[in-house]
Amino acid sequence: MTDRSLRLLLDFDACAQRDSGQASVFLHRRDRKFALTCKEQSVEATPKRWIAYINRFSDAELGREQLTQTLRFWKRVNTSFLAVGALFGIFSMLGLLFYDGGQRINVTVIIAFVAFQLLLALLTTTQSLAGWQPWRSVIKRFRKNSQSAVLTRLQPVLMAQAAQLGGLCFAFGGLITLLIMVLLQDLAFGWSTTLETDASSYHAMIAAIAAPWAWLWPAAAPEIGLVEATRFFQASLGQNTINPSLWGQWWPFIAMLWTTWALLPRLILYLLSGVLIKRKARQLLLKHPAMSALMYRMETETLDTGNEHNDASDFPNLNNQSTLTPLPKASTILTWAGAGDSEMPTLLTEAKSIQAKVGGRSTLQEDEATLERVAAQLTKEAKRCVLLATRCWEPPTGELEDFINRAKELWPEGAHIVLVPLASNISREPEQHHIQQWLRFAGRMQSKFVSVSVISSGNDSHFTQAGPKA
């Protein structure tokens, strides 16, 4: 139960359940920023890194508690199967080896019992591969809390592993009991069947069963003479017609029969169940509904649609108003994501001590260096204003909001940003519906740190009320 793939799946499922109560806009901005950070650091945006990333910003105690309860429950299931399997193995072998001095221990019964154990082991693995859950009602009865759909689909392989562990302990307990009984008692083995079977046919079956170990331990592969000499009949139980020294020579065969066809298959299938759990956990993680949503959020830029509600029928809020005021004086201008690459109004570029490009093709490290450079410049100025030119027709992105929030952290007190949306043709004023999305963006920031100015064809400026006046 300590497999990393299983833990990763349960951790991811817990995070997905926790995110189900969050706003989609928040999730998009958070996961997009995570993807950009991984790209900047040249590392892969794996689910494990994503889980560690979001756990730094949210309370993960609930998810850890659910994970602990799940792992604890399945640990109890495994422990129960282990104890019950070992106990049943001991008593089963005692029953098979029961000998009162007058009745021989029938090798045929032991062979049939081992074949039944092998069949059960194979059926358990087949059940897990088919996804059948014969234990579902029992599991639901003992679980105190409900489980997610992902864990329900994982339950067949988890239960198969517990069953294989119980079968393995059953076989091990039976083998130890057999060896102890051989040491403490004088066991008498023989073979018999109601069917008309001659010794040669029975020996051929014994030789086929013992083929895997005959080369390693010849004494554990009975010869035809032993088979002929140890056959008994119910009518002759009271007669002493069999050489007593031959009765105990079957025990090496019985020990190897139990080890090879009962113990080893259970061990192999138990190890295979661990592989199946890992494989199933990886498949469920890749097919998890939250995984596809996460990949979409990481690969898609966050946009401000202007819709502050969740209903598709709601129209964007167009109630923001603007008032005419002069463009704030600033010694620093930043251009966001290629804004003004072709042409910039002279009103924005004249008498500027710092002109820098941020966002777009600029890396996060380059943006950070620019912010620190601007912060050093602002500490020398009384009027701490920075112009940030953008393309008016492009909606505000989550990356821009993160950039502004980072600037607020680094820049000295009293500094503020004036967003300047630029039209594609600088001789024209941006269209009203383009301006409105930037007004909404500044208003949503709910801070005096951000405001908006629009340069008209006459180099006048419309300055909004969504921020401080410079």
Positive or negative, the CA dihedral 207, 210, 216, 217 is negative
Q: How far apart are alpha carbons 389 and 381 in whole angstroms?
A: 21
List the chain pLDDT tens, one digit each, 470 residues.
Answer: 456 888 899 888 888 888 877 778 778 888 888 888 888 888 899 998 998 888 876 655 555 677 788 888 889 999 999 999 999 999 999 999 887 666 688 899 999 999 999 999 999 999 888 888 777 777 777 766 666 778 888 888 999 999 999 999 999 999 999 999 999 888 888 888 777 677 888 889 999 999 999 998 988 899 888 888 888 764 444 444 556 567 778 899 999 999 999 999 999 999 999 999 999 999 999 988 889 888 888 888 766 555 544 444 444 454 544 455 567 788 888 888 888 777 777 777 777 888 888 888 888 888 889 999 999 888 888 888 888 888 888 888 878 888 888 888 889 888 889 888 888 777 777 887 788 888 888 877 766 788 888 776 545 444 444 444 44
Whether residue 249 contacts residue 296, with contact meaning beta carbons closer than 8 Å, is answered with: no
* Residue in this structure with the two tokens 């167009």, named with its chain if needed: 318
* Residue in this structure with the two tokens 């001095």, named with its chain if needed: 101
Whether residue 387 contacts residue 333, with contact meaning beta carbons closer than 8 Å, is answered with: yes
pLDDT score, position 59: 56
Q: Which residues pair with 418 in a beta bridge?
A: 387, 451
Tell me the three state secondary structure of residue 420. Answer: strand
Neighbours of 70 (CB within 10 A): 23
Residue 221: CA count within 13 A, CB half-sphere: 14
pLDDT score, position 244: 58
Q: How far apart are alpha carbons 201 and 109 in whole angstroms?
A: 17
Q: How far is CA 130 from CA 149, 155, 157, in A?
A: 17, 12, 10
Whether residue 156 contacts residue 128, with contact meaning beta carbons closer than 8 Å, is answered with: yes
Neighbours of 243 (CB within 10 A): 9
Strands (E), 114-253: 189-190
Q: How far apart are alpha carbons 312 and 159 in whole angstroms?
A: 45
Q: How far apart are alpha carbons 400 and 421 in whole angstroms?
A: 13
Contacts of 49 (CB under 8 A, 6+ apart): 34, 38, 43
Positive or negative, the CA dihedral 354, 358, 363, 368 is positive
Amino acid at 259: T
* Residue in this structure with the two tokens 């027709």, named with its chain if needed: 393
Specify the DSSP class assigned to residue 132.
Answer: -
Query: H/E element holding 388?
Result: strand 385-391
Q: How is the chain split into domains, by residue range?
A: 62-286, 322-464
Amino acid at 163: A
**What does the radius of gyration of the chain's CA atoms come to, in whole angstroms?**
39
Q: In degrees rounded to 5, what are phi and psi of residue 248? A: -90, -5
Q: How far apart are alpha carbons 417 and 412 in whole angstroms?
A: 12
Q: Where are the alpha helices (DSSP H) in 212-356?
A: 224-229, 251-258, 264-286, 289-299, 346-349
The pTM score is 0.64
Q: Where are the alpha helices (DSSP H) in 144-263?
A: 149-184, 199-210, 224-229, 251-258
Q: Where does residue 89 rank: exposed (0-12), middle (13-18), buried (19+ CB within 10 A)?
A: buried
Q: How far apart are alpha carbons 308 and 114 in whole angstroms?
A: 69
Q: How far apart are alpha carbons 156 and 123 in whole angstroms?
A: 12
